[in-house]
Amino acid sequence: WSSIWDHGRVKISFPCKAYPSQLAMMNSIIRGLNTGQHCLLESPTGSGKSLALLCSALGWQQAQFGKSALIDRVPLSEKSQSKRPSLASRLSEKFQASLSSAPETDNDFQPDRKRFRTAEHKVVNTAFHLCITFNLKAVESQMSLNICLFFFVQSTEPCCRCPCASAKDGAKDKDGKKKVPKIFFGTRTHKQITQITHELKRTVYSRVPMTILSSRDHTCVNPEVAPHSNRNERCKELLESKNGRSCRYYHGVHKMRDQHVLQQVHGLQDAWDIEELVALGKQLRSCSYFAARELLLDASIIFCPYNYLLDPMIRESMDINLSGQILVLDEAHNIEDCARESASFTLNQDNLLMVRDELDGMVNSNIRRSEHEPLRNFCYTLLNQSLMSDRGYESACKVWNGSNILGIFHNLGITADNFKLLKQNLVAVQEKEERTGLVNGREEMVQVPTIPSAALIVLKGLFMVLDFLYRDDCKFAQDYRVALQKSYAWKNQVPTDVPDVHGFLVRPRQRQRQNIRVKTEVLTLSFWCLNPAVAFSDLSGSVQSIVLTSGTLSPMSSFSSELGVKFSIQLEANHVINKSQVWVGTVGAGPHGRKLCATFQHAETYTFQDEVGELLLHICRVMAKVLCFILMLDKLRDRWINTGLWDKIELQKTVITEPRGGGKGDFEELLQTYYDAIKYCDERDGALLIAVCRGKVSEGLDFTDDNARAVVTIGIPFPNIKDLQVELKMKYNDQHCKSRGLLPGNRWYEIQAYRALNQALGRCIRHKNDWGALILVDDRYKNNPNKYITGLSKWVRQLVQHHDTFINAMQSLVVFSQRQQKVEVTPADTQTSSSCVSSPNSHLPVTEEGQGPAKACDPLSPDSCAKTPERQQDASHSILPIFSNRQLKAEENKKAGEVLYLYNLINSKAWLITSLMIC
């Protein structure tokens, strides 16, 4: 189902019938891009906002290129299938055949060839001449020549795909017009980028030139680097050819760095994700990390985590120029925190000592002494720790505001002018230089040593925050706080060898060497930016338009004041689901009638913890697949294990808890266990996943359909008010609320809780045909709705119902669940199908478009997973006396036996018919 929406002069091709919320989003985006205004758009999760973002932004970009500009970028074979093959197409086919038929050569032992980007050339009348002047190397000149001929014959204009015609960002075309902006599409995580590219693949814009910027952790294919944790350092060592070795994958990056070759030769014609690029890099023995960066030059849309766009250090290292571009930030509910972190930097004493020692070594070895010595003295200045004051048990801290720290630096000889010299010194020590030296008694050119990349990263981070502090006559100084903190940590320490009575060194036994733990003092120095507008100041004045979107931007009042950006276009879209598909209720008391208020004073009591456990047990008897977000996961779990309540819950559900820390593989394994518990039903009814707000589960995961039918939130997830950074931020907002229009500290503090809560609630309803229950456990919602309900997302707060007793809430929930399961049996009429918002979660099978989720359980026991109305009726009574399910199990076993008999009978007849046919 495809449609074309005409927004004035911009035509948008859409792959399915658009929801009203999608139409509203696309209209707002086009207005913002046409007028160069910034947009703040909230559209509930599951309403297809990602598809609306892609189609509207790329449709607008296509209109800027002209009616046929982007079409010319699509492979010719797609446009001329019904026409006679042209000379260009025959040349292209001949070129591809020569590449595919040529034997693969091993370039590992070929001499290193330096790669370079040509300077901007003056546009001339023929594309052929441009190509000849670009590069005359054997392989690359052949590739460029064929591509130029391909486009030159097709069009009378100079070639636009050859690297020789690529100009730097911000350049103008041959008519003197401004170059069409690129679209930088940022989202929170690499996994969400994969989901976005899958959405792009479904559109007519799927072959637009693109790239994905990511870290070496996700894209490195060198087997000597990828398995290690310090990939960045190992990669840079190979690039610098230390120890006489270099990266053979880096020297093969030319195989993947051209958009046309990537599509036509290597088969990545439609939108691709990181995994596909990495697989191709392994196949071609080409570096996918640097290939993605090379592809940025010709890309129309660039995907990346949005901290790549906000962090000045990452922008510099990735060569990202946002001037005049379009900036789309999806899942932007955490953008304020990310912006503050991007302009902040924290290091510990060990980091500073490491940098100081490296610089000491350079100075003592008389290597660029004039540049290294000022940097070393700067590190000595920061190691001053004389100003300390007690703060809490076994901890100490000292906090300065930005003006005070600049005054301290001034007294130590560091001023704005001196800092400019320090920056020049830092640039100088990074430059590669060769000098004459003696090697095995002979004079040869040797490379001058440089400080390691780990030390360089620390210096760059420090200089980044100091650059903000000194910028424009120190106008951002009041936005910073510098905290020197002392704490203690237990660390493993290997004991030293000690002499015995005879004077010989004796090494302790292996067991003794491993079990020694030492209490160690830890000093950290933090430069905290309290104003996210500092990081946004680099963007708001240079980009053409900023589009912030998320399913949970409410309350939206803080974004303009916090980010220092005027969002002239704002939208709070409605959800695409019917009200009957979601149950939203507040519960203020438990099964025993005890009040449930999850403030710190109440949450620490055993009465509260036991009542919450009983409440969760009853919900598990009513709903099959449950997500539960709690504030004190470890403490509640320990209490429930001690009281035996945990065992009761495990009799009902497969219980899984979100891990604290751990690697990516551990988390993926945990999720797979949860999905398997739902997909392959056993004697227990579904699964329960217990997680924390602001964790990995609540922030970006998709629990479509049977992956979650209920979300339970216990309490309101306010940040830790005793955290020093939270305390300083609240005081900062109180200080500047009148002069800068910031929210007061208490209001800012509440908004942080609402955003985390809205994110957790958004895990459940993921498309138009989905259904689920949102259960908010806390009596504050009912007692003070004006304060605690108004912070919820628009679509949630419109559906909230307060229940007087726990029994009433559970009875209402049982009726809702029974009704939805009956609706699932009858196929829904879904002209605007759920395919309009594709489910990125592939763990559960999905039926044909518009028919909702497929049954996830074994076909031999269809009743073992979804609850029958009889079971639901028993579940509703479980809030009072708990009845025996023995009779119910017997009926289920009888039905399962009948189904198994029919299944075997059909199989036997099918086998007989097959045998006869073979005979």
CATH number of the domain residue 637 falls in: 3.40.50.300
Q: Among candidates 769, 745, 744, 774, which has minimal Cα distance to 759?
A: 774
336 and 374 housed in the same domain: no
568 and 587 housed in the same domain: no
Residue at 856 is within a domain: no
402 and 291 housed in the same domain: no
Strands 545-550 and 326-329: parallel
Average pLDDT per block of 10 residues along the chain, 919 residues long: 58 88 92 93 85 94 70 40 41 42 38 37 33 32 33 35 39 59 92 91 93 91 85 82 79 88 87 92 93 93 94 91 94 91 92 92 90 90 65 75 89 88 91 70 75 90 94 92 87 66 60 66 90 90 91 80 91 86 93 91 92 93 89 90 93 85 70 81 75 79 79 92 93 91 90 89 82 93 90 87 92 91 59 34 32 35 36 36 36 46 45 46
Report the pLDDT value the prediction gives residue 694, as an integer from 0 to 100. 82
704 and 783 housed in the same domain: yes
Q: How many domains does the chain have?
A: 3
Residue 556: give the domain boundaries: 3-71+179-344+541-572
Q: In what order do the strands lie in the sheet with 687-692?
A: 654-657, 687-692, 625-630, 710-714, 772-777, 582-587, 801-803
Residue at 312 is within a domain: yes
- Domain endpoint, select from 803, 823, 843: 823
- Cβ contacts of residue 566 below 8 Å, gap of 6+? 38, 560
Residue at 141 is within a domain: no
321 and 363 housed in the same domain: no
Task: Say whether 565 sits in a helix, a strand or coil.
Answer: coil
Please measure the distance between the N-terminal and C-terminal CA atoms of the chain and give it in whole angstroms. 46
d(CA 263, CA 299): 13
Cβ contact 303:210 at 8 Å: yes
744 and 780 housed in the same domain: yes
d(CA 85, CA 111): 40
Neighbour tally for 524: CB within 10 Å = 16
Burial bucket for residue 812 (CB in 10 Å: 0-12, 13-18, 19+): middle
Residue at 109 is within a domain: no
300 and 351 housed in the same domain: no
Q: What b/e readout covers 235-258, taking b as 16+ CB neighbours within 10 angstroms?
A: bbbbeeeeeeeebbbbbbbbbbbb
Report the pLDDT value the prediction gives residue 264, as an integer from 0 to 100. 85
Q: What is the pTM of this model?
A: 0.75
Strands 505-506 and 498-499: antiparallel
Residue at 898 is within a domain: no
Q: Which strand (E) or helix (H) includes residue 888?
A: helix 886-918
Burial bucket for residue 313 (CB in 10 Å: 0-12, 13-18, 19+): middle
d(CA 699, CA 430): 39
Report the pLDDT value the prediction gives residue 542, as an integer from 0 to 100. 86
Q: Among candidates 409, 408, 406, 390, which has minimal Cα distance to 398?
A: 390
749 and 646 housed in the same domain: yes
Handedness of CA 321, 325, 328, 329 (dihedral sign): positive
Chain-centroid distance of CA 475 in Å reads: 32
Residue at 679 is within a domain: yes
User: Given phi > 0 = left and psi -120 to 50 = alpha, else beta, which region is 885?
Assistant: alpha
- The token duo for 383 is 């190691």
352 and 317 housed in the same domain: no
- Domain endpoint, select from 823, 848, 873: 823
Report the pLDDT value the prediction gives residue 242, as an integer from 0 to 100. 67
Residue at 84 is within a domain: no
- Domain endpoint, select from 805, 823, 841: 823
Cβ contact 352:380 at 8 Å: no
334 and 219 housed in the same domain: yes
Q: What angle do CA 593, 598, 601 make, to 5 degrees?
A: 105
Residue at 893 is within a domain: no
Q: Among candidates 827, 850, 842, 666, which has minimal Cα distance to 767?
A: 850
Backbone angles phi, psi at 715, to 5 degrees: 85, 180
605 and 702 housed in the same domain: yes
554 and 649 housed in the same domain: no
